[in-house]
Structure 1
């Protein structure tokens, strides 16, 4: 664990680890139909996180797995290759949360996510997230927010990220139009905006997407680009 983790951060991360251990033990002891295990893998022309290229415009390999229960609780891990960061070339995210339908076609999702960078020191931090999803006619939408409280590994400054995603199928085809707009302010952005517009094509367990991604960040990692991603779920 990074040396600069605050005590509150260590405690929160311990809760995530404990939940993973508890749910894994329960999945062995209980009816296995109660727990669903899924996995995903992707190859992308560059890893864009909230509009910024964390792979420095190089291709990235990504993948993860999720363990979900019928009650709505879930745990998972996801990783991606990145541009070298404090000695690490991998981002590994560990998360746990709860998702449930709340009526009127709405779904709520809340959880805690740990960003870690294996091989580095003093870089991991935690983030709380929540979202609400629904549909208006044929348009699926999600509005959400993610909050990082002040932690030693993020300069003792908090951060807020607010976003809106929308997706609309093109007739009866397996193609959909996808849009995204978001605002960020704090440790990782100063009045920062990012947005994207693209299309995705789904076939069997695969998905191919192409999107134009841009930000108002002047650094090279925020410049506009067209990003293509081939992903698979299992």
Structure 2
């Protein structure tokens, strides 16, 4: 999968058939949560992305963040390439291949690939992700989520999210299959994108971690971003 992904990215860098638009984002957040579980031991993260989108619907990008797994892992870099298009004025879809990597992580080789698919209807979305070798464990991991964003006055949105982590990895790892939820507000001020979301989940009390590595307790995540 890694060879396929980087082959597609290489092909995109040499094509001149379609006009392309590039964009980048830098973000600051008080906790990097991935599917409800902290990747920074509850500490702050600086994140950034660079994307290129072609007129034919193909896009590619790179995203990065600091992480803390309690060993020598301190950086995550994700690469992705995908395709999106509209079926009707209200209905659209997106499919991408992503490669999650951890440069400089000598204690463990956690790099893995994942197929992601999303369907959008109005302000609602349904997404599904499948990794046949989740975090390079030899076990599959799957994630399905629904989200809805309701516009409010003053350019603010009410954002709702519910996700379910399942597959062979979950249950054989320390945590069984579980659900994560969030409710938050988002908007833009002076060129900055602001969001605040309260995150909670269905993880059993015996498996709940409210401090330190991979904390999964209820928390408020605040993020400030700038796109250029």
TM-score w.r.t. length of structure 2: 0.88
Gaps of 5+ in 2: none
- Conservation of the 8 A alpha-carbon contact between 2:74 and 2:105: no
**Per-residue CA distance 1:113-139 (angstroms, 9 max, x = gap):** 11100012421001011010011xxxx
* CA RMSD, Structure 1 to Structure 2 (Å): 1.6
- What is the aligned counterpart of 1:216 among 193, 202, 205? 202
CA positional deviation for 1:84: 3.7
CA positional deviation for 1:155: 2.2
Query: Counterparts of 2:17 and 2:54 in 1: how far apart (Å)?
Result: 11
- What is the aligned counterpart of 1:125 among 97, 101, 112? 112
Q: Which residue number corresponds to residue 184 of structure 1?
A: 165
Aligned positions of 1:187-206 closer than 5 A: 187-188=169-170, 190-203=176-189, 205-206=191-192
More strand by share: 1
User: Comparing 198-207 with 57-66, which one deviates more in the overlay?
Assistant: 198-207
Aligned positions of 1:45-194 closer than 5 A: 45-84=30-69, 86-121=71-106, 122-135=109-122, 140-150=123-133, 153-171=135-153, 173-186=154-167, 187-188=169-170, 190-194=176-180
Query: Counterparts of 1:165 and 1:86 in 2: how far apart (Å)?
Result: 34
User: Comparing 86-95 with 200-209, which one deviates more in the overlay?
Assistant: 200-209
**Per-residue CA distance 1:29-80 (angstroms, 9 max, x = gap):** 456xx10111001000110111111111111000011111010011001011
Structure 1 segments (4+ residues) deviating >4 Å: none
Query: Counterparts of 1:30 and 1:191 in 2: how far apart (Å)?
Result: 45
- Conservation of the 8 A alpha-carbon contact between 1:216 and 1:222: no
Aligned length in residues: 213
CA positional deviation for 1:85: 5.6
Q: Does the residue aligned with 2:10 lie in a helix, a strand or coil?
A: helix
TM-score w.r.t. length of structure 1: 0.86
Gaps of 5+ in 1: 1-11
Q: Which residue number corresponds to residue 223 of structure 2?
A: 229
- Conservation of the 8 A alpha-carbon contact between 2:24 and 2:227: yes
